Structure 1
Amino acid sequence: MEDRIRDQLKELADAEGVSLSEYVRDRLLEAVIPVYERESEPGAEPAPETMRLADRQVLALLHRILARVLPEEANDVDGGTAYQLKRAEVIESGFTGEYWREVAGFSTELSKRDCDRVLDILDMFRAITHSIQKLQKDGDPVGEDTAYDLEFQGFDFRDGLEGHMADYVKFLMGEDRWTELRPQLERNDGGNSHHKTLDAYLRMLAEHRRIMDSRGRGFRRDDYWLSKEELDQIAAARVHPSHRG
């Protein structure tokens, strides 16, 4: 591979916050494995066109069991006895046009890679937040513009992937994890950025990783604090290279 092409691939990998080998491997997989074109709304699980007989038997049995244990006045998401028996009839009769009822309300899976990206992004903003607080306490605060650029603004709810990532963040914080970032989300419409942020976060994450890789890793809290210069570097990475002065 020509050095020029390798350098271009490295820039693309850095922009996504992944290694060169991981980036190339993903592009090869995309070329080999056809992308499934969904007809449903972004984020919605498409209805199965067919089911294995064993799966139909299990689903029908579960619907019939639920029909027997639901209270007579039940009227929540599980419906009542008649509703569950209808669901069982659809599965037993093989009415494939009605299989969408089995996945209604389900979301497509958020891949392990994208889940890990969310965790990495949250860890980065945690380090940024504590570093800014430490500098403030030491009497050497960062500027307002830098602090704003380094704030976790959440994800774009309108985008299928970012909206799913936003749901994952909400789930994680519901388990009292990364709660120090909640005030930042509250200042940004509850975590709805109203514009795509993932690409910017990945550029920031790539810069954060370069900074952390350049120093010796330890187990003390001080090992993860960032200086003002390092925070400026991460804030600058938020801007796409084509728009930098």
Structure 2
Amino acid sequence: MAVLNIRVDDQVRDELKDMADAEGVTVSEYVRDLLMAALVPGYESKEDHGDLPAPETMRIADRQVLSLLHRILARVLPEDNDDVDGDAAYQLGRARVIEAGYTGEYWREVAGFSPELSKRDCGRVLDILDMFRVITFSIRRLEKDGTTVDEDLKYKLEFRGFDGNDGLENHMAHYVEFLMSDGRWAELHEQWSNNDEGNSHSLMLDTYMRMVAEHRRIKASRDRGFHREDYLLSLDELQQIADARVHPSRRG
């Protein structure tokens, strides 16, 4: 494995140390993860974000717990139940599969379950939503103050959701739906709806992360204020974020 030495300001080193400590990893591990995210965003394989594969075996303790839960459900479900839990016979059948150890039928226990969306990827989604919230409020304030924001620029700065055909991005899209389901991120609901309910039909994570990186650079260059509007962006700053959509290798 190659070794890379870099020089950073003391402040940057201290902030990296704090962030690494918060994650419970070394600075080296934290920086390596950041580099991987920048160079290979969304590197997780697609199959890691579909349904969980059926377990090939289970511990006897897990089988006992699952069997007991199925038998409890069989006794408490209404006789005319027709939802995903089925009826008593269905639950008793599930219990018998577990008790008899029919491993070929274990898939029933994980059907519909997805692998975990990592803390890192959940954080990426929140960072993206936060950036688009700031962008949306910034455009509204500029237009309220009489500044014309070009339609092309507004289009480039619109939240388009994630690619429904990509395993990781589709998982992220479902996370956004969950976050929005209780009214959060209301300022982005219209953009989400206008873009096929958050299906961008093209890969967006790489683009979003470049925009987020530029947004972070803009925030880092400012003095931290305390007014609720101190986070709003100028027209030039909005253009900087829009320009970051294009990969550096393709910029003129």
Question: What is the TM-score of this pair, normalised by structure 1?
Answer: 0.85
Report what 1:94 is aligned to. 101
Matches within 5 A, 1:5-44: 22-25=30-33, 42-44=49-51
Distance 1:20 1:212 in 2: 25
Report what 1:13 is aligned to. none
The count of residues paired between Structure 1 and Structure 2 equals 226
Residues 104 and 21 from structure 1, CA distance in 2 versus in 1: closer, same or farther, beyond 3 angstroms?
A: closer
Q: Which runs of 4+ in 1 moved over 2 A?
A: 19-23, 25-28, 35-38
Report what 2:188 is aligned to. 181
Q: Does 1:223 align with 2:230?
A: yes
Deviation at 1:240, TM superposition (A): 1.3
Counting aligned pairs with the same residue, the percent is: 65
Deviation at 1:25, TM superposition (A): 4.2
Report what 1:81 is aligned to. 88
| 1:168 counterpart (168, 172, 175) | 175
> C-alpha offsets along residues 12-37 of structure 1, whole Å, 9 cap, x if unaligned?
xxxxxxx9963414779xxxxxx998
Q: Does 1:148 align with 2:155?
A: yes
Distance 1:118 1:191 in 2: 13
Secondary structure at 1:57's aligned position in 2? Answer: helix
Distance 1:213 1:182 in 2: 28
> C-alpha offsets along residues 98-117 of structure 1, whole Å, 9 cap, x if unaligned?
11000001111100110011
Deviation at 1:72, TM superposition (A): 1.4
Report what 1:138 is aligned to. 145
Secondary structure at 1:222's aligned position in 2? Answer: coil
Q: List alignment gaps of at least 5 residues for structure 1.
A: 7-18, 29-34
Q: Which amino acid in structure 2 is aligned with residue 150 of structure 1?
A: L
Q: Which amino acid in structure 2 is aligned with residue 67 of structure 1?
A: A
Question: What is the TM-score of this pair, normalised by structure 2?
Answer: 0.83
Q: List alignment gaps of at least 5 residues for structure 2.
A: 8-26, 37-42
Q: Does 1:191 align with 2:198?
A: yes
Deviation at 1:95, TM superposition (A): 1.0
Q: Which amino acid in structure 2 is aligned with residue 206 of structure 1?
A: A
Whether the aligned pair in 2 keeps the contact of 1:204 and 1:238 (CA below 8 Å) is: yes
Distance 2:51 2:128 in 1: 25
Q: Does 1:159 align with 2:166?
A: yes
Distance 1:235 1:36 in 2: 26
> C-alpha offsets along residues 98-142 of structure 1, whole Å, 9 cap, x if unaligned?
110000011111001100111111000000000000010111122
